[in-house]
Amino acid sequence: MLKCLKPYTLPIKTIIKTKERKNNFLVLGFFLLAFYACSKKESKFSDQQVFRYNEHSNITSLDPAFAKDQRNIWAVNQLYNGLVELDDSLHVKPAIAKSWTISEDGKNYEFTLRGDVYFHKHQLFGKDSTRTVKAKDFEYSFNRLLDKNVVSPGGWVLQNVESFQAKNDSVFTINLKQPFPPFLGLLAMKYCSVMPKEAVEYFGNRFRANPIGTGPFQFKLWVENTKLVLRKNPLYFEKDTQGKQLPYLEAVAVTFLPDKQSEFLQFIQGNIDFMKSLDASYKDDILNTDGTLKEKYADKIIMQTGSYLNTEYLGIYLDGEKSLPTQSKLIRQAINYGFDREKMITYLRNGIGTPATSGFIPKGLPSFNNQEGYLYQPQKAKELVEEYKAISGNNTPQITITTNSNYLDLCEFIQRELQKIGLDTKVDVIPPSTLRQGKASGKLPIFRASWIADYPDAENYVSLFYSKNFTPNGPNYTHFKNEKFDELYEQSIQEVNIDKRYQLYQKMDSIIIKEAPIVPLYYDEVIRFSQKNVKGLGINPIDLLNLKKVSKQ
């Protein structure tokens, strides 16, 4: 039997117009009618207490062990907590662990847990319907993350861990194989969330759709591809600075309209509270060319922008056929010099983003040092192409850039520019899933990609070029290999002194600039649009959605 919950969603008539989702929205209509019937009898809260946003792709799992993509991470972040968390400045803060100590050699961590953290209420917990979180729960959750039968994509987070154990109910210890200074930031990832053994074992494979965590919101309803509803957790342990219990909102409602233009129209009409990105289909309607909000929206919506730990780039696969022009450093450097990043950002991104002229490590990280990368030098690019022709005997070098439709405009701009320097350039557009598979399997000589930081340390970026991380065993999609780079990388992951570690990162970034296994395009920015009545919606360089302090006025 459905429990009473007043609905907050897009108008049914508008939703059903999307033909490919018609059946799903008919199902949603059934649920909405049921909820509405209940709400007529018992109206507990108003529209001002529900936060509504849209996801373009369906959430695949509400299990933190599978919180790989942003769509999953955002939902899981409302449902679960870990030992620690990151604030909007990316500082590590206590969560379920109220304090911790680290040994002098940087290898041993001891966490002391809070005693007032409860799992979401459920009949699985017996008469009291809940229980407190204990250190054994973290021991179980970490073992599950490493369980090969679970096949979690997040097992790598614990690859540097020698052992972990519950010392007692309130103390959890972790021992590393070697010092790894970014480790606390890794523990803030949603993979490391705590979950109750009772629920995971009871639901089995269905745990993905029956989540039980400790977060500010608890699970209510999920109709895949259609609707996700979360409700306020009345037992949540955190309070604001005035001592008021979090969260402020009563519910979160997520819809799954796939069309970004439709999402924009729903946002402008006030049917959703928040829009998380900028799309080519409406960017010129909402923004001026300098990246400012158009005057007609200035008094209606709020725009927030900030640094984003995301570098957009073209990757070049270096283990391909030796006859390919991109196997030559001359051609790779020519591509880097051959197009105007400033112009690309101004006219194709409406000024949102920073041209990537300083290597791979993005703005927003302390180790970003604004070193000299590739500026627009078309004459130098032409000379490099001519030098390649003379050495190789290939007078008509051809390259193909593979992308998905979302970045077609950028790749076509680069195509036109590279034609001018003597490179016969083609653009191949394929579905996002095919692009991911081709990138991972080495089937694409040049592929458009992005790298969003999982944790706030540049190790997350330089690890893409460490030779022991070749795909499929790691994120080295280009199969770049350089002995000096590997040596510096191995030094950096053991260096406890933060300034020395940053210097090592910068030296590695310089090698990437010189050898050009990639073509950095731009350092992205977080851009968020919200209704005027939304308060407390922060912004952070990893674009994590935190709703526990959000309210609507």
Q: Which pLDDT belongs to residue 175?
A: 98
A 10 A CB-CB count for 234 gives: 10
Q: What is the pLDDT of residues 299-336, one digit of tens each?
A: 999 999 988 999 999 999 999 899 999 999 999 999 99
Kindly state the percentage of the chain with pLDDT values over 90: 75
Identify the CA nearest to 465 among candidates 365, 331, 315, 330.
315
Degrees to nearest 5, angle at CA 181 with 175 and 186:
75
Structural domain spans, the chain: 48-268+533-552, 307-526
Overall residue count recorded for the chain in this entry: 553
pTM value is 0.79
Q: Which pLDDT belongs to residue 452?
A: 87
Which structure tokens are listed for 534?
């939304």
Q: Which fold has domain 307-526?
A: Dipeptide-binding Protein; domain 3 (3.10.105)
On the 0-12 / 13-18 / 19+ scale of CB atoms within 10 A, 155 is middle
* pLDDT of residue 484 exceeding 90: yes
| 47: confidence class by pLDDT, cuts 50, 70, 90 | confident
The pLDDT mean for the chain works out to: 90
Let me know if the fold of 48-268+533-552 is the same as that of 307-526: no
Q: What is the pLDDT of residues 187-216, one digit of tens each?
A: 999 999 999 999 999 999 999 999 999 999
* pLDDT of residue 512 exceeding 60: yes
Strands (E), 47-142: 50-54, 84-86, 92-94, 97-102, 108-113
Q: What is the pLDDT of residues 100-142, one digit of tens each?
A: 999 988 899 999 999 999 999 999 998 879 999 999 999 999 9
User: Could you give the CA distance from residue 436 to residue 30 in angstroms, rounded to a whole number?
Assistant: 36
Identify the CA nearest to 502 among candidates 374, 307, 372, 361.
361
Q: Which pLDDT belongs to residue 12?
A: 39
**Domain 48-268+533-552 top-level CATH class:** alpha beta
Degrees to nearest 5, angle at CA 381 with 376 and 385:
160
* pLDDT of residue 41 exceeding 80: no
With residue 528 as reference, give the H or E element that holds it.
strand 518-531
On the 0-12 / 13-18 / 19+ scale of CB atoms within 10 A, 113 is buried
Q: What is the pLDDT of residues 384-426, one digit of tens each?
A: 999 999 999 999 999 999 999 989 999 999 999 999 999 999 9
User: Could you give the CA distance from residue 286 to residue 87 in angstroms, rounded to a whole number?
Assistant: 29
With residue 198 as reference, give the H or E element that holds it.
helix 197-203
